[in-house]
Structure 1
């Protein structure tokens, strides 16, 4: 088992690395060259800054039974197609049962933003979200080990 992290804009990279290290699991963090990241335990892969470079790198290497951490639901759908386990930065398990609804909701919101020129302001991430993510990741690792 390997954990893959889509690190571009991911607020839980450090938590994922720490949990992987605690469980002696290989972790591959994929980022573009604009993101500064160093860790002696994780394998850090730097890709081009162009759209979806990190996504393509991950999809071409992820295997059944691996874990994907991403807030990109399109990437999550591709990970599920390769029989990987997917979790987002808030600890939501992305599965075959909910990916269709998640992608549909994403499409509707993108369409509304384009038509109405409305853009969402993201709230500041709170410590509880980090705790929820960590608990979910540990639970996922335990369930598939």
Structure 2
């Protein structure tokens, strides 16, 4: 089991929580980001700036049993298909029963925006997001360490 982080969009607090959890569970933590991001991580992989390059690298790395931290619903769907867990920086645990709905919602919103509509962006991160993320991460870690 490893913690793999889509570090292009992961808040620093999330990186810190993951670092602590990885140390506590004696797990490797891998961060992946393009060369435009400066990430302080022992196991950091730098990729180019092409679209989806970080996602493709994470897909190559992810194995059954890993935990992938990402806010990208498409990447979450792909790693779930490989048997890895997927967790958003806000603490949402993605699972196979809800991911199809999320992907459909994403497509509908993108279609709406392409036709000139406007949708709301993400809300400002709060300390509750950090608490929810930590709680969900530890749920996944404990659940996966029992298997």
Partner of residue 31, structure 1: 33
State the SS of the aligned residue for 1:5.
strand
| 2:128 maps to 1:128 | yes
Map of 1:90 onto structure 2: 90
Cα distance in 2 for residues equivalent to 1:122 and 1:80: 23
Moved more, 95-104 or 8-17: 8-17
Unpaired segments ≥5 residues, structure 2: none
* In structure 2, distance between residues paired with 1:77 and 1:14: 25
Query: How many corresponding residue pairs?
Result: 143
Q: Which residue of 2 aligns with 1:70?
A: 70
Query: How do residues 1-145 of structure 1 correspond to structure 2 at under 5 angstroms?
Result: 1-11=1-11, 12-39=14-41, 42-145=42-145
Measure how far apart 1:117 and its partner are.
Answer: 4.0
CA shift for structure 1 position 123: 2.5
**How far does the alpha carbon of each residue in 1:44-74 deviate from its partner, in whole angstroms, 9 at most, with x for none?**
1111011111111110121111111100011
Q: Which runs of 5+ in 1 are unaligned?
A: none
Q: CA deviation at 1:112?
A: 1.2
Q: Secondary structure at the match of 2:115?
A: helix
Calculate the TM-score normalised by the size of structure 1. Answer: 0.93
Kindly report the root-mean-square deviation, in angstroms, between the aligned alpha carbons of the 2 structures.
1.2
Deviation, 1:22, is 1.9
